[in-house]
Structure 1
Amino acid sequence: MKKALLALVFSAATIGAVSAQVEIGLKVSPSVTHLRTDSPSAYGFENQQSKVGIGGGIIVDYFFGQNYAFGTGLELTGKGGTISYFDPARNARIEQKIGLQYLQVPLTVKLFTNDIATDTKLYFQLGGTLNAAIAGRINGEKRYVDPTTTQETKAAKHVIIPDAGLRGAFGVEYQLGQSTKVLLGLSYNRGLFNIDNYFEDERGFKDVELKNSEFALDLGLKF
């Protein structure tokens, strides 16, 4: 009986070791980002223009089934965009070109189809990201002088450091060799936090919201 139980435990462990597989790779992600705005009509915050950037990082897919994986990694990405708002103190509309850099960790589930062609699978990804702002520029500069107050502040201090987002993505993976795969995909990242740390605190504008959005083309290689 004990031998049979030990054999069963060993078999389960062996099956788990075989089915649990980790794939690691690198990706580059050209992106188009913008800032979603909301404010009272007195301030009239608007998204004026998107920002083109590029990011990339490490891909880690931990498979817990043949076609199911926990997708994570570490990414460096650029976000931001151009916004405008009405400044009652100047009776004028002001534009700001905001550029931000984030480190982010995806926490997602990836679902893979069976082969749709030789060595080719589709994948679908859904989950979230944990993000931290590490740098910022306004109008291309690390410091910003407010045209109304003439006060100078660090551009990176205009946004809060933490952010979180929802991620949805799909794409295709092609197996080149025994453990080498290339991937091509599209992803959308929707920020959940109001990242503004300037207009309400420094200018007294109430109920202003700025949130990140990103569309990216994912080009990757897994080893």
Structure 2
Amino acid sequence: MKKSFLALLLLGASAGAASAQVEIGLKLSPSVTYLRADSPSGSSFQNEKSKLSLGGGLVVDYFFGQNYAFSTGLWLTGKGGSVSYTDITSPTNATPVTRTQKIGLQYLEVPVSVKLFTNDIATDTKLYFQIGGSAGALIGGRLDGEKRSTDPANNQETEAVKRFILPDAAALVGAGVEYQLGQSTKVFGGLSYHRGLVNIDKYFDKTRGIKDVSIKNNEIALDLGIKF
């Protein structure tokens, strides 16, 4: 009885290993990024302009069914945009001024998502749909194109990256087309939307005392890649 049960377990494990398939590839993702800015009416934070960015990295699809895959990887991603706000430069000068700030950020991201594939819609061609999220860590930043920035309130210079919190997270949805070139080579192209979930600002609240400011990343990306 024990031998039969052990044999059954081994058979099941072998079948699972045989049906599981891992596909690894690379992708390049030019994107349009912008910031969702919000604040109390007095400081009037708002999004001004989007930013063209470029990202990409490793893609790993682990299939747990014929048309279903857990998708992850490691991506280098550019984000940011321009925001404007109403500022009072110092306690001795109460005249409000409108400032515009161009923000450029770079993240190392790990996606956690599921891909759903259709059956062939044409020879060796499938549609895919992707849903999930991503977690990222800030590794670089610029304000108005510079790595260091001078605070207009006190004229102190600091690293631009220190104005933002380290972690970021986003919801992810996407869709595209995958084409089989050979026995194990596939190319794909699609669009994805990444909606930031985390307020990335720590400067205006902690340094300037402007409460309830929220700045979140948004990205629309064109995903082009190859899997081996």
Match of 1:21 in 2: 21
Match of 1:176 in 2: 181
Q: Distance in 2 between matches of 1:27 and 1:85?
A: 36
Match of 1:164 in 2: 169
Deviation, 1:206, is: 0.7
Which residue of 123, 127, 139 maps to 1:122? 127
Q: Secondary structure at the match of 2:14?
A: helix
Query: Which of structure 1's runs of 4+ aligned residues deviate more than 3 A?
Result: 1-7
Deviation, 1:197, is: 1.3
Query: Do the aligned partners of 1:108 and 1:126 also contact (CA within 8 Å) in 2?
Result: yes
Q: Where in structure 1 are there 5+ consecutive unaligned residues?
A: none
Alignment of 1:49-60 (within 5 A): 49-60=49-60
User: Which string of whole-angstrom CA distances, capped at 9 and with x for unpartnered residues, describes residues 162-209 of structure 1?
Assistant: 011100011010000000000001000111110001011111101100
Query: Do the aligned partners of 1:43 and 1:88 also contact (CA within 8 Å) in 2?
Result: no
Q: Secondary structure at the match of 2:40?
A: coil
Q: Distance in 1 between matches of 2:2 and 2:209?
A: 73
2:201 equivalent to 1:196 = yes
RMSD, matched Cα: 1.2
Alignment of 1:48-197 (within 5 A): 48-89=48-89, 90-197=95-202
Letter aligned with residue 17 of structure 2: A
TM-score normalised over the length of structure 1: 0.97
Q: Distance in 1 between matches of 2:14 and 2:157?
A: 62
Q: Distance in 1 between matches of 2:121 and 2:108?
A: 34
Deviation, 1:7, is: 4.1
Q: Secondary structure at the match of 2:207?
A: helix
Q: Distance in 2 between matches of 1:128 and 1:94?
A: 33
Q: Distance in 1 between matches of 2:211 and 2:148?
A: 23
Letter aligned with residue 209 of structure 1: S
Q: Distance in 1 between matches of 2:186 and 2:166?
A: 34
Q: Where in structure 2 are there 5+ consecutive unaligned residues?
A: 90-94
Q: Distance in 2 between matches of 1:101 and 1:188?
A: 17
Deviation, 1:2, is: 5.2
Q: Secondary structure at the match of 2:212?
A: coil
Q: Secondary structure at the match of 1:14?
A: helix
